[in-house]
Structure 1
Amino acid sequence: MSTSRVQPALTEPVAAGWVEFLGGPMGRFSRLGRARFWTPLRTILAVAWTFLAFGVLFKSNCAQGKPDGNGVLQLDWSGNRQYTSFCYNDIVPLYSGRGLDHAGFVYDYSWVENGVTRYMEYPVLAGMFQNVVAALARQTYGVARDVLPEVGWYFYLTAFIMAVIWVATVRMVAELAGNRIWDTLLVAGSPLVLMHAFTNWDIPSVFFLVAALLAARNRRFVLAGALIGLGTAFKLWPLFALGAYLTLAIRRRQWRPFLLMAASAAVAWAAVNLPVWLRNPAAWGEFNRLNTTRSWEWTTIYAVFSRMTGWAGFDGQGTPEILNFVTLVLFAAGCLFTLVLGVKAPRTPRVAELLFLIVAFFLLFNKVWSPQYSLWLVVPAVLALPRWRLLLSWMTVDMMVWPILMWHLLGTNNKGLPGEAVNVIVLARDGLIVAMMVLVVLQILGRRRDKVREAHSGQDPLVGQWR
């Protein structure tokens, strides 16, 4: 494998200039795999840690405090710093907002909001992750009491744990990339990691998905399904991987791998969710209740349409069933398109190509696109379409959605940006993703070069010949 490794200095114009600066590409007689320390993998992991460090610095302004009258450090968000420095993240405000600052099971905590009893709104495994890290933060806060408020310590502890998980994820992506290992730099050094690694708790869900892809490649289908189930118990989107494997099952008429994965995914998901449902059905159902009744999010196509036309028909206020129906139909149509494309294509599509299309359709048509959701697309995009210039352009534009949204949320009366600025950056991001989807479709149809297949003797490195 190492002798066939693709060198980006010879294939990617974006990388060529940097490599020349560092001394030029390797020659034809270079001895690959003999580096004393800076192997490709160690280089990639070093980049990952560096970008994670900058990512936590991006958010650090929202984890600082100032002493109260008793000299106790309290969180300081004065001067709208969460917007002006775009450091806002859900980790900090939900620490007290979801009862994580007190002992107890997170799904037992409730409060009343607009006459409705509310509970933790995250899927069960995500809520339990927050619960465990919060308990650890409370027990160890003494080491940081003099420099940070308690919630700040909780933020940094959460960030460190998720950073370790992300580095493990990058390591697995390097394995999946095969002879194109250097493509993993687009994951480790993604601009979206800088902006959103610690905006929410999305990193563990990416870990579960990538681990499932690796297990499936190694023909450990029960483990792959269990990882998909756990990922779905953390955030819904890892479930979409089953759609890619279903397409392969139909096309190849090889049902055993898919059925094993689907069954073990269901068992793993139920094993996590059933105890919470039995303990408190209302708390368990809060995720579904909130997502069913909420309106669109600021950076969706529905929000853009509303701001551009003034039409409130998609706002979901009072009539969320209309918006829910529209989003469901559009996403279902996207999944059906992907299935038909995958079955009818002249050659079997790669798993990453199918997964990328499904996740992209979900993001484009869903009524909620919290900007950190774009992290979901990074690994599928890199494995499906490793075109460095295009992917870096998309990630950079996508990264800019967040600061522009934050400045917009300041309000125009407070020198914030108008809604038109949000519309422009959102449409630019969506346009780049649509362009990537078109290229992937053309690649599946054999009308564009597939760099991944070329590097792996025409095979899909995520599947091979497993049965």
Structure 2
Amino acid sequence: MSRSHPTHDDPVLAGLSPAVGGRLGSHAGAGGPVRALGVLLALTALTFALGLLSKTTCALDDWSPTEADRFTHVCVSDVPAAYTGTGLVELAWPWSGDRDTRERYPVTEESAPVGLWNYAAARLTHVLAGSPDVSERYGQPVDVVAESDDVASERSLFMAINVVGLAVLALLTTAALAAVHRRRPWDAAGFAAAPVLAFAGVLSWDLIAVAAVAGAMWAWSRGRPVAAGAFLGVGVAAGVWPLLVLVAFLLVAMRERRVAWVLPTAVTAAATWALFNAPAFLTGRAQWNRFWDVLVERGPDRGSLWRIVADTAGLSHDVGLRFSWLFVALWAALVIALVLLAPSRPRVSQVAFLLVAGLALFGLHYDPSQALWLLPLAALARPRWRDLLIWQSGEVLFFAATYWWEGGLLSPGDGEQSGFYWLAIVIRLVCTGWLVAMVVRDLWWPEQAPLDDPETAPAGAPQVPAGPACY
């Protein structure tokens, strides 16, 4: 089986190869999937470490730096604030209905799996910190508890535990992506060495859903629909948006008139979703509802097209919500038409990428960490470094501009709206649009696509012949 190397397949890597001795020679050993995976995991670790290095300023201040330092050095993360902001410092159950607890701390706004993740991390933090007596903290004001030296040390430990967990998820994501295309493990480098992973990897807990989606893509490619459903159930419970990946499975199955392919996946996904939500739902349904209330209550917010419209022309929450969902629905309809009318069967990663991109382009809000949603799908859908870097350059610019804007560094002196931030949003939208256009071109003109791999459907489904062996 003939194989090619990334320096032969990707024009950008071919152009950079002279710096490391040139392209792989015809007599060089091709290596193998194990060797490729080792390099990819090392790249993931290096990328993740570089991202942590960029947050050194916050780490040195026990993740409680001044607002100026947080925004100037862009070392922001939602993770450490969860420890002192939602009662984990006192080992409060995230969905507790206890009146005293709720008077001291707000209910977590995170999904059930994220809440369980954080509660487990808080338990481990307390064990490693010597099991401090939390009863002493009950009689102190919340702000006094948060500012104590012991709690500052615990907050850093809580962050370190989360970082280790998120790093493991990043490594597992790389391993799953490398296994999707059997003869193209190097496509996973689009995730492993991504600037977006470095900057946004520890911003929040989005890697839980991202890893679940990568696992679902791997299981689907191996003809394991039940496993794919289990992974998707975790992803949907953690972040909702992976539901669009299930829709992508369904659309590809519809294209082949084999909707039954997806039935085991959908049933397993629903059962897994219920399983992961059960602890929160059964112990505090009203508190569990908070996650869903936040999704509905949040109006035109940072990062979105609708934020610009709201700032320039005025846009109420209800009107913005209607317009946002209208555009997302129209986008989804266009994707469905494209899938059904395309000259050949699309790859699942292409369809999933386009569906999730609709949220990135027309969603009511867009946080910097949401770029991680697209990252694993983009790496599989369009494994070309030129296009991946064009898209991510817009994301990195938007990442920095968002926190500089929130820190007042981009606010004009006359008190007017920040045109610089609007520009960053527009650039992000244009760069995302570029990658979308490339994926659409590959789907509509498959002969121009960088690979021809059907991302195998479940066992028993008709198999589409794979393209030339590569990587």
Q: CA deviation at 1:148?
A: 6.5
Rounded to whole Å, the distance in 1 between the matches of 2:167 and 2:45 is: 8
Aligned partner of residue 237 in structure 1, secondary structure: coil
Q: Deviations over 1:190-230 (max 9, x none)?
A: 00111100000011111111111111111211111111111
Rounded to whole Å, the distance in 2 between the matches of 1:75 and 1:431 is: 34
Q: CA deviation at 1:285?
A: 0.7
Matched, 1:251 2:249: no
Q: CA deviation at 1:330?
A: 1.5
Matched, 1:341 2:338: yes
Matched, 1:13 2:15: no
Matched, 1:358 2:360: no
Rounded to whole Å, the distance in 2 between the matches of 1:76 and 1:355 is: 38
Matched, 1:77 2:65: yes
- Counterpart residue type for residue 340 of structure 1: A
Aligned partner of residue 90 in structure 2, secondary structure: coil
Rounded to whole Å, the distance in 2 between the matches of 1:231 and 1:26 is: 38
Name the counterpart of 1:425: 424
What are the equivalent positions in structure 2 for 1:410-421 lying under 5 Å apart?
Answer: 410-411=407-408, 419-421=418-420
Compare 168-177 and 145-154 and name the one that shifted more. Answer: 145-154
Aligned partner of residue 108 in structure 1, secondary structure: coil
Contact 1:60/1:87 (8 A) holds in 2: yes
Rounded to whole Å, the distance in 1 between the matches of 2:162 and 2:293 is: 27
Rounded to whole Å, the distance in 1 between the matches of 2:371 and 2:390 is: 14
Contact 2:392/2:431 (8 A) holds in 1: no
Contact 1:111/1:118 (8 A) holds in 2: no
Equivalent of 1:268 in 254, 269, 272? 272
- Counterpart residue type for residue 400 of structure 1: L
- Counterpart residue type for residue 47 of structure 1: L
- Counterpart residue type for residue 5 of structure 2: Q
Question: CA, structure 1 residues 407+21, in 2 after alignment: closer, same or farther (shift >3 Å)?
Answer: same
Rounded to whole Å, the distance in 1 between the matches of 2:261 and 2:321 is: 33
Contact 1:442/1:448 (8 A) holds in 2: no
Rounded to whole Å, the distance in 2 between the matches of 1:130 and 1:333 is: 37
Q: Deviations over 1:84-134 (max 9, x none)?
A: 11111101212111111112321117899xx9x942111111111111111
Name the counterpart of 2:76: 88
Contact 1:166/1:207 (8 A) holds in 2: yes
Contact 1:10/1:16 (8 A) holds in 2: yes
What is the TM-score of this pair, normalised by structure 1?
A: 0.87
Name the counterpart of 1:68: none
Rounded to whole Å, the distance in 2 between the matches of 1:31 and 1:413 is: 52
Rounded to whole Å, the distance in 2 between the matches of 1:126 and 1:466 is: 36
Rounded to whole Å, the distance in 2 between the matches of 1:266 and 1:413 is: 44
Q: CA deviation at 1:161?
A: 1.1
Question: CA, structure 1 residues 6+376, in 2 after alignment: closer, same or farther (shift >3 Å)?
Answer: farther
Residue segments in structure 2 that go unaligned for 5+ positions in a row? 132-148, 462-471
Matched, 1:176 2:180: yes
Matched, 1:460 2:454: yes
Q: CA deviation at 1:465?
A: 7.5
Question: CA, structure 1 residues 212+412, in 2 after alignment: closer, same or farther (shift >3 Å)?
Answer: closer
Name the counterpart of 1:404: 401
Name the counterpart of 2:86: 98
Q: CA deviation at 1:295?
A: 1.7
Matched, 1:451 2:450: yes
Contact 1:213/1:462 (8 A) holds in 2: no
Name the counterpart of 2:42: 46
- Counterpart residue type for residue 450 of structure 1: A
Compare 26-35 and 371-380 and name the one that shifted more. Answer: 26-35
Q: Deviations over 1:383-412 (max 9, x none)?
A: 111121121121122112122111111225
Name the counterpart of 2:22: 24
Contact 2:111/2:238 (8 A) holds in 1: yes
Compare 50-59 and 16-25 and name the one that shifted more. Answer: 16-25
Q: Deviations over 1:427-448 (max 9, x none)?
A: 1111111122122222211266
Name the counterpart of 2:282: 278
Question: CA, structure 1 residues 111+211, in 2 after alignment: closer, same or farther (shift >3 Å)?
Answer: farther
Q: Deviations over 1:347-401 (max 9, x none)?
A: 1111011001001001211112111100110111111111211211211221121
Aligned partner of residue 89 in structure 2, secondary structure: coil
Contact 1:215/1:223 (8 A) holds in 2: yes
Name the counterpart of 1:215: 219
Compare 122-131 and 18-27 and name the one that shifted more. Answer: 18-27
Rounded to whole Å, the distance in 2 between the matches of 1:157 and 1:368 is: 29
Rounded to whole Å, the distance in 2 between the matches of 1:377 and 1:460 is: 20
Rounded to whole Å, the distance in 2 between the matches of 1:265 and 1:359 is: 18
What is the TM-score of this pair, normalised by structure 2?
A: 0.87
Name the counterpart of 1:456: none
Question: CA, structure 1 residues 423+34, in 2 after alignment: closer, same or farther (shift >3 Å)?
Answer: closer
Aligned partner of residue 108 in structure 2, secondary structure: coil
Q: CA deviation at 1:75?
A: 5.2
Rounded to whole Å, the distance in 1 between the matches of 2:26 and 2:451 is: 21
Contact 2:63/2:80 (8 A) holds in 1: no
- Counterpart residue type for residue 267 of structure 1: A
Aligned partner of residue 179 in structure 1, secondary structure: coil
Equivalent of 2:385 in 385, 388, 396? 388
Q: Deviations over 1:165-199 (max 9, x none)?
A: 11111011111143332222221110011110000
- Counterpart residue type for residue 53 of structure 2: L
Q: CA deviation at 1:304?
A: 2.0
Rounded to whole Å, the distance in 2 between the matches of 1:464 and 1:294 is: 38
Matched, 1:238 2:242: yes
Residue segments in structure 1 that go unaligned for 5+ positions in a row? 66-73, 454-458
Contact 1:98/1:109 (8 A) holds in 2: no
Rounded to whole Å, the distance in 1 between the matches of 2:278 and 2:67 is: 44
Q: CA deviation at 1:255?
A: 2.2
Q: Deviations over 1:13-58 (max 9, x none)?
A: 32124322222222223332279xx922211111111111111122
Rounded to whole Å, the distance in 1 between the matches of 2:456 and 2:425 is: 32
Paired residues in the alignment total 440
Question: CA, structure 1 residues 182+281, in 2 after alignment: closer, same or farther (shift >3 Å)?
Answer: same
Question: CA, structure 1 residues 190+337, in 2 after alignment: closer, same or farther (shift >3 Å)?
Answer: same
Name the counterpart of 1:60: 56
Q: CA deviation at 1:336?
A: 1.6
Runs of 4+ in 1 over 6 A off after TM superposition: 109-112, 145-148, 413-418
Q: CA deviation at 1:80?
A: 1.8
